[in-house]
Amino acid sequence: DAGVIQSPRHEVTEMGQEVTLRCKPISGHDYLFWYRQTMMRGLELLIYFNNNVPIDDSGMPEDRFSAKMPNASFSTLKIQPSEPRDSAVYFCASSSWDRITDTQYFGPGTRLTVL
C-alpha cells in the first residue's frame, strides 16, 4: 500500500493567492482528516470526512478555508485568499470505515509558506 499521498510537498506563494492542497487517502479508508501543525498551536484538526461527507469542520479557522472530498480517493483543502499566518505544515490522515477510533495514518504533509 502506498500510504496516504499528499501534494505538493512544499508550496510557496504570495499573500492573496489561492492555494490548493491535495490528498489521496489509503484505499478502503472512509475517514479522512485534515490537520494543521504550527509551532505555536501544535497539531490541530481542521475538518474530517466520513464517506466523502464533511462531519465536523469546527476547526476550520475562517471562511478563507474550504475542503472538499468529491470521491473516496481524493480530497482538497483550499485557502483563498492566503495570508502569511496560514504558513504551516498541513497533514492529511485517513482511517478505516468501521471504527473512527481506528488508527489514523498520516501523509507526509505539505509545508506551506505564504510570503
Residue 48 contacts other proteins per CB under 8 A: yes
Q: Are 46 and 56 in contact (CB under 8 A)?
A: no
Among 14, 18, 56, 83, binds other proteins (CB under 8 A): 56
| Dist. CA 8–CA 69, nearest whole Å | 17
Residues in contact with 58: Cβ distance below 8 Å, sequence separation at least 6, in sequence order: none
Using the rule CB under 8 A, give the single segment among 11-19, 64-72, 77-85, 96-104 that binds other proteins.
Answer: 96-104
Among 42, 53, 70, 98, binds other proteins (CB under 8 A): 42
Residue 97 contacts other proteins per CB under 8 A: no
Binding-site ranges for other proteins (CB under 8 A)? 33, 42-43, 45, 48, 55-56, 89, 91, 93, 100-101, 103-106, 108-109, 111
